[in-house]
Amino acid sequence: MPSIISGQRTSQTIRALEHSSRKIFSTSMVAVTEPHAVTEQHDISYVADDASPLHQFDLYVPLQPFSQDTRPPPLIVFIHGGAWRSEDKSDHAALARRLAALSAFPVAVPNYRLTAPPTPVRHPAHAQDCLRFLHFLLSWPGSLTSPRPYDASRLYLLGHSCSAHILASIFLTPPPPPLPHPHSRPLPRSSPPPAPSSSQRASTTSTSSSAPSPPTAPGSSPPPSAPATPTHPSTPPPTPSATAQPTSSGSSSTPASERMYDHLCALLPEGTVQRDWDHLTEEHNDLLKGDTYPDIVRDFVVADASAADL
C-alpha cells in the first residue's frame, strides 16, 4: 500500500540518544539525467562506536537548493522493506538519487538489523533501530567536512513493504492504559495495524521532527505519548496526508489498504488524508524502479513543503 502520510506529533519528548563519534565517509558526484546533480555520502554510522553496516545510512544531497529560502531543505528518509529479513540500503541507491534529483531535497537511506542467520533479532528490534536512526537525524550536526544539509524539523519518512509496518509501529503506538488490578489478567490494548502483504506495495510517511514514541513489544508498556488510536480522539492535528494503492492486482484497492486508510481517517482531522489508488500499476518491488512512484512522492513533498513556506 503506497501511502504518503504527513502528521505532526506533540507527544512528550523522550530523551534523545547521545552520539559521541562520527564516521568519515566518502563523497562522490553522480551523473544523473534529472534536473539536479546529486552528491553521495556513504556508510555514515548512526550508532556511536558501532561500525556495523546494519547501523549505517547513505545520504544523497542535490547540489541545487529546493528554493531561495535561506533555511536548509526538508529531508526525505526512505526505509527499505524486505520482509524484515532481506534487502540493503544500497539496493535503493537509484531510487534515492532519483528522489533527490526530482525534489531537490536530500534523501537518507538507512540499514537496520534483519531477522537473518547473522542477526537473528525479533520484533521490535527492527523498529528500535529505525527509531534510533530517526533520533540521530534530529541531533546530527553533519559530517566533519560539511554541515547538516537538511532541516531536522521537516522530515518526510518513506517506507516500502515491511517498513510501512515498522513506521506504523513507531508512530501509531497507543498510550499506556490505566494500571490494572494486580489480580486481573493481562489483556491486549489494541489491534495492531495490518501487516504489509503482497498487496501493500509500499508506504511512505512524512512527519515533523517531534521525537516519536518507541515501538512497544508485546506485553510491555509503551512510554507516555499523545493519543494515536481511534479510541483516543484527541490526536493532535497533522499536516496533509495521502495514501496510494497500486492496481496491478486488477482492483483499485484491497481490504488491507482500505482498513489502513479508514484507520488514518479516524485518527486525523477531516480533509487531511488523501488517497491515490489508481496510478501505480507495477508489482511489489518493480514500482521502486519505475517513474510513477518517485513522481507521486515528489509531487507530495514539494507541494507540502511549499505550502508550509507560505
CA distance 185 to 158: 38
Question: How confident is the model at residue 297, as a pLDDT?
Answer: 93
Q: How far is CA 99 from CA 64, 105, 153, 156, in A?
A: 13, 8, 19, 12
Segments making up each domain of the chain, as ranges: 3-175+194-309
- Dist CA 61 CA 291 (whole Å): 20
Three-state DSSP at 119 gives strand
Using CB atoms within 10 Å of the CB of residue 93, give its burial: 0 to 12 exposed, 13 to 18 middle, 19+ buried.
middle
The predicted-structure confidence for 215-270, as pLDDT tens digits, reads as follows 443 333 444 444 433 333 333 434 455 555 454 444 456 787 788 889 888 888 88
- Which pLDDT score, from 0 to 100, does residue 1 have? 45
Closest CA to 161 of 110, 122, 113, 195: 195
Residues of the chain short of pLDDT 70, as ranges, are 1-35, 65-69, 174-253, 310
Q: What are the cell numbers at 61? A: 544531497
**Alpha-carbon span 228 to 4, nearest angstrom:** 17
Cα 294 to the center of its chain, rounded Å: 15
* pTM over the 0.85 mark: no
Q: Are strands 3-7 and 241-244 parallel, antiparallel or unpaired?
A: antiparallel
DSSP state of 86: -
What local confidence, expressed as pLDDT, does residue 282 receive? Answer: 85
